[in-house]
Amino acid sequence: MAFAPRLIVPVSQHIGAPAVPVVKAGQEVVRGQLIAEADGFFSVPVHAPATGIVEAIDLMHSAAGPKVLSIVIKVYEAASQQVLESYPVDPMQLDRDELIKRVQNSGLAGLGGAAFPSHVKLQVPEEKQAEVLVVNGCECEPYLTCDHRVMLEQPENLLQGVRYALRITGAKRAIIGIEDNKADAARLLREKLTDNDPISVELVETKYPQGAEKMLLKSLLGLEVPVGGLPIDVGVVVNNVGTLAQLGRLLPSGEGLTERVITVSGSGMEKAGNYLVPIGTPVSFILEQVGVEAEYEEVIMGGPMMGMSIASLEVPVTKGTSGVLVFRERRFIEEQGERGTRFPCIKCGRCVDACPMRLNPAQMVWLAEKREYTAMQEKFNLNSCFECGCCSFVCPSNIPLVQYFRIAKSINNENRKATA
Amino acid sequence: MSRKPIVLHTAPHVKRPQEVPVIMRNVVFALLPILAFAIYQFGISVLALTLVVTLTCLATERFFNWMSNRTSSLGDWSAVITGILMALTLPPGFPLWMGVVAGFVGMAMGKMVFGGIGFNVFNPALVGRAFVQAAFPVAITTWTPAFFDGRFTQFIPTTLTMPFMMPPDISAWASSVAVDGFTGATPLGLQKFQDTQTAAMELLTGMTAGSAGETSALLIFVCGLYLAFRNMMNWRIPVWIFIGVTVTSGALYLVDADKYPDPLFMLLSGGLMLGAMFMASDMVGSPVTARGVMIYGLLIGFLTVVIRVFGSLSEGIMYAILLGNAATPLIDAMTQPRVFGARRKEQSP
């Protein structure tokens, strides 16, 4: 996709400490140049997504709601947009610590949606051993197809990234898990594999939330990550295909992350599809480019189950943005009848059936209504909920279950902070 | 470019369309063929009884809404289910004024005092029926021969009993109108008190006497299947009840085949099919987990047989379901799902 005239690049596009700007307003930047550096190990730097001039460093809209510190770049239209800053190396010659430093320098954060700093994920703690690297080729959510396209269009980058990740983590083998409705991607990747690669491609059932790492591990390896644990606790490191495809490209070239693939979809759209979009592109520009009818009512960043509906079209695409969806309210009404009339819980048990973490959402809602948020955690493992939204989706009484859980979790967090 | 303002929602932004009224409405649809057969079998008395009971249920629910200053909850269709189900469990010639009592008590004591749909502990239809069983022991065991002549033009004599009056004795009438081979006794009563076995085929097709809507096991089964296939009923509940009944009565049958009826008879007779398919499977009063449902279903099946065989009543499904309802909170507490990633031993209570 073309460069928008103005790019808005937040300094915090990942989970962890925000990056610190190293440019000033009025300064010219070249595409790929470091514009904000990592603040400690649990942070990733930000690179200029385009050649231009820094217009301002100011608080700007974000998808989540609050305004965040962002570097606004006015793009030079005539510029060649060549990436000038790069430090080419052969990753296979470097040791792990050097590689992890380079992953951090590339500004890579999980492109699946959570935007967890990739170098942190790839660093296996000293006392633990990674046996298997699982490559997540399952779409995070319905509507999104960006992972599929990445696998089809950048198989070489992806496999290269998997090889680097194997070297960094020390895992003995890698499994690329792909949903069975994307057999073409699996076929292509299998063809591209060499005999020496300890990499296999496996199909799993197409089912939301298969792309959640705990679900994928269960499907592929039959492993259950312990409550409150991470995949490394069962000897596994999980990475998304989009992330590893970028890793395969950025690590040898030594460039920074400046763009990503996103799915643009929804109703009334002329050119829905997957686009390679510079980080910082405002949603309004994307919608102009794909040609959206004027009559839409909800714009979502991410997927329909976990994404955020945005209040301003000036919200930019960040490293964690997997898609931009546009919905018309009318379409919702046709599909859903009277949306939102709430009925009492009839204990049908559908949420219990639907919960991939085998929680008891119904019981937790009864507690949430009484504001017994600590009991929700202590007795019912509230924090195991990863907010997939299945419970709210199936509830015939239109009870906003996952919404209750989000509130309960954040209140518990605040209380913990207050007492700590 | 003019456009509507953007609407903000929290995720998820999509929703399955199947809502409570849709489910309840489909339960009503599934009951209609059973009701139609009951009317065909016992005539306009059943129609009148169903209308009276259902309207009483609706009026009672609306009255309680009004008393508690809430908006009407009739739109969720659950009161209609209660009304039709209750009427189907009553004898065809049940006096209408007693039907009003049953409807009122069932809705008021069984549902609305708890706070309406979703909060009731017991199945309201069965609460109403249990009340009239205790209050009017004669009327509720006064059976009518099936397919009697003139059933579409005349009421059963007991139907139009004056309010607060006891119904007249209809044994003379019953023997005068009965078609050959159809007496007023129910298959369970015949088996228990007269040691006469009704053939399975008659039980399947409903060629017997009994409560208005319980006679044709096959028809009820098919209507229940519709709900199960539309994913509007937990099919595990009836299945576990059938297993519970089969195992319990099978064990007894093996002990003494002369004294105890065979499992097939147990499955097909009385209100078991209606109760298993439409009343025990009521979502509100049943456990939520698959394991909980197993315990619940087996318990109901077991209790039904025990009451039928060893109790003084000929039918036991009603009390079995009510006891199952009562055990549900306990079963739910015992069968919390094992959280993903939790060790089996560390399971929280």
Q: Among the ranges A212-216, B195-199, B202-206, which has the highest mean pLDDT value? A: A212-216
The confidence band for B344, taking pLDDT boundaries of 50, 70 and 90, is: low
pLDDT at A69 over 90: yes
Q: In terms of Cα–Cα distance, which of A165, A361, A351, A340 is closest to A250?
A: A165
**Per mean pLDDT, which range of A301-315, B185-199, B251-265 is the poorest?**
B185-199
Per the listing, tokens 């169903």 go with: B50
B183-199: pLDDT as tens digits: 667 888 888 777 778 88
Record: contact A346-B117, CB cut-off 8 A: yes
Q: Averaged over B20-35, what is the pLDDT?
A: 94
pLDDT in tens, A258-292: 999 999 998 778 888 999 999 999 999 998 888 88
| Domain boundaries along the sequence of chain B | 20-334
pTM: 0.86
Please, what is the average pLDDT of chain A? Answer: 89
Q: Which of A295, A347, A378 sits opposite B283 (nearest CB)?
A: A347
pLDDT digits (tens, 9 = 90+) for A170-185: 999 999 999 999 999 9
Of A403 and B16, more confident: A403
Helices and strands (H and E) in chain A: how many: 14, 16
Q: Could you tell me which CATH number the domain at A6-85+256-327 has?
A: 3.10.20.600
Calculate mean pLDDT across residues A334-356. Answer: 77
Q: How confident is the model at residue B146 (pLDDT cuts 50, 70, 90)?
A: confident
- How wide is the angle at C-alpha B55 spanned by C-alphas B43 and B74, nearest 5°? 135
Choose among B294, B318, B304: nearest CA to B234.
Answer: B294
Q: Tell me the domain boundaries of chain A.
A: 6-85+256-327, 91-253, 350-419
Phi, psi dihedrals of residue B77, rounded to the nearest 5°: 70, 0
> According to the model, what pLDDT value does residue A242 have?
93
Question: Is A337 in Cβ contact with B17 (below 8 Å)?
Answer: yes
H/E stretch holding A265: strand A259-266
Looking at residue A334, its pLDDT comes to: 40
- A314-329 average pLDDT score: 88
Q: Is a pLDDT exceeding 60 seen at residue B1?
A: no
Task: Please determine, for residue A337, whether its predicted confidence score (pLDDT) is greater than 80.
Answer: no
Residue B142: the pLDDT is 87
What pLDDT does B346 receive? Answer: 44
State residue A64's pLDDT score: 81
3-state secondary structure of A75: strand
Q: Who contacts A334 (Cβ-Cβ below 8 Å, separation ≥6)?
A: none
Contact B347, B299 (CB under 8 A): no
Ranges A288-292, B13-17, B271-275, B322-326: which has the least confidence: B13-17
Report DSSP letters for B85-132, one per residue. Answer: HHHHHS-TT--HHHHHHHHHHHHHHHTGGGTSTTT-SS-HHHHHHHHH
Residue B227, pLDDT > 80, answer yes
B142: CB partners within 8 A, 6+ apart: B91, B93, B94, B158, B167, B170, B184
| C-alpha to C-alpha distance for A288 and A277, rounded to whole angstroms | 14
ipTM for the complex? 0.85
* Residues of B (317-346) whose Cβ lies below 8 Å from A: 336-343
Categorize the per-residue pLDDT at B6 as very low, low, confident or very high, splitting at 50, 70 and 90.
low
Both tokens assigned to A59: 């608080």
DSSP label at B7? P
Give the CA distances from residue B339 to residues A407, B34, B133, B161, B285, in Å, rounded to whole numbers and listed in that order.
21, 41, 44, 58, 24
pLDDT of residue A311: 84
Q: Rounded distance, CA A253 to CA B6, Å?
A: 42
pLDDT tens digits, A243-260: 999 999 999 988 999 999
Residue A294: band (very low, low, confident or very high) from pLDDT cuts 50, 70, 90: low
B349 pLDDT more than 80: no
Query: HSE-up of B20 (CA within 13 Å, CB side)?
Result: 27
- At B347, the pLDDT band (50, 70, 90 cuts) reads very low
The closest CB to that of A346, out of B20, B287, B348, belongs to: B20
Which one of B1, B2, B13 would you mutate to disrupt binding with A, by most A Cβ within 10 Å of its Cβ?
Answer: B13
In the predicted structure, residue A8 carries a pLDDT above the cut 90: yes
- The confidence score (pLDDT) of residue A91 equals 85
Say yes or no to pLDDT of A90 above 90. Answer: no
Q: Which residues of chain A have a CB within 8 Å of the CB of B17? A: 335-337
Mean pLDDT of A402-419: 92
Mean pLDDT value of segment A206-224: 91
For domain A91-253, the CATH superfamily is NADH-ubiquinone oxidoreductase 51kDa subunit (3.40.50.11540)
Task: Determine the average pLDDT of the residues in B65-88.
Answer: 92
Residue B124 CA to residue A89 CA, distance in Å, equals 75
Supply the pLDDT for residue B148: 84
> Mean pLDDT, chain B, as a whole number?
89
The mean per-residue pLDDT over the stretch B107-132 comes to 93
* CB-CB neighbours of B209 under 10 Å: 26
Partners of A357 on chain B (C-beta within 8 Å) are: 339-341
Q: Cβ distance A169 to A124 under 8 Å?
A: yes
Task: Give mean pLDDT, residues A314-333.
Answer: 79
Residues A116-165 pLDDT 10s: 999 999 998 888 889 999 999 998 888 899 999 999 999 999 999 999 99
Q: Which residue of A has its CA nearest to B335?
A: A360
User: Chain A closest CA to B300's CA: distance in Å?
Assistant: 19
- Chain B hits for A379, CB-CB cut-off 8 Å, are 348-349
Is residue A349 left, alpha or beta, with left meaning phi > 0 and alpha meaning psi from -120 to 50? left
B68's CB contacts (< 8 A; 6+ apart) are: none
Q: What mean pLDDT comes out for the span B316-323? A: 94
| Alpha-carbon distances of A82 from A31, A102, B39, B64, rounded to whole Å | 7, 21, 83, 74
Cβ contacts of A381 on chain B, cutoff 8 Å: 339, 342, 348
B179 pLDDT band, cuts 50/70/90, is low
Residues forming a β-bridge with A306: none
Nearest to A311 among B8, B76, B342 (CB): B8
In chain B, residues with a C-beta closer than 8 Å to the C-beta of A344 are: 115-119
pLDDT at B194: 77
Distance CA A201, CA A189 (A): 7
Q: How far apart are CA B317 and CA B321, in angstroms?
A: 6
The alpha helices in A193-306, defined as continuous H runs, are 213-221, 241-253, 283-290
- The predicted model gives A329-338 an average pLDDT of 46
In chain B, helix, strand, coil percent, each to 5?
A: 60, 0, 40
In chain B, the residue whose alpha carbon lies closest to the alpha carbon of A302 is: B11
B115 vs A contacts (CB less than 8 Å) = 344
pLDDT digits (tens, 9 = 90+) for A29-55: 999 999 999 998 999 999 999 999 999
pLDDT above 50 (res A392):
yes
Q: How far is CA B202 from the centre of its chain?
A: 21
pLDDT, tens digit (0-9, with 9 covering 90-100), for B33-49: 999 999 999 999 999 99
Least confident of A200-204, B179-183, B297-301: B179-183
Enter the tokens of residue A311. Answer: 């209040």
| Averaged pLDDT for residues A347-372 | 92
Closest CA to B100 of B88, B85, B81, B87: B87
Task: Look at residue A248 in the predicted model and tell me its pLDDT.
Answer: 93
Q: Kindly determine whether residue B76 and residue A400, on different chains, have CB atoms separated by under 8 Å.
A: no
For A144-158, A287-301, A405-419, B105-119, which range has the lowest pLDDT when averaged over its residues?
A287-301
Q: Is the pLDDT of residue B56 over 60?
A: yes
Closest CA to B195 of B250, B251, B260: B260
Model pLDDT, residue B181 = 56
Of A296, A356, A358, the CB nearest to B338: A358
Partners of A140 on chain B (C-beta within 8 Å) are none
Give the number of other Cβ atoms within 10 Å of residue A87's Cβ: 11
* Chain B, window 118-137: residues with a beta carbon less than 8 angstroms from a chain A beta carbon: 118-119
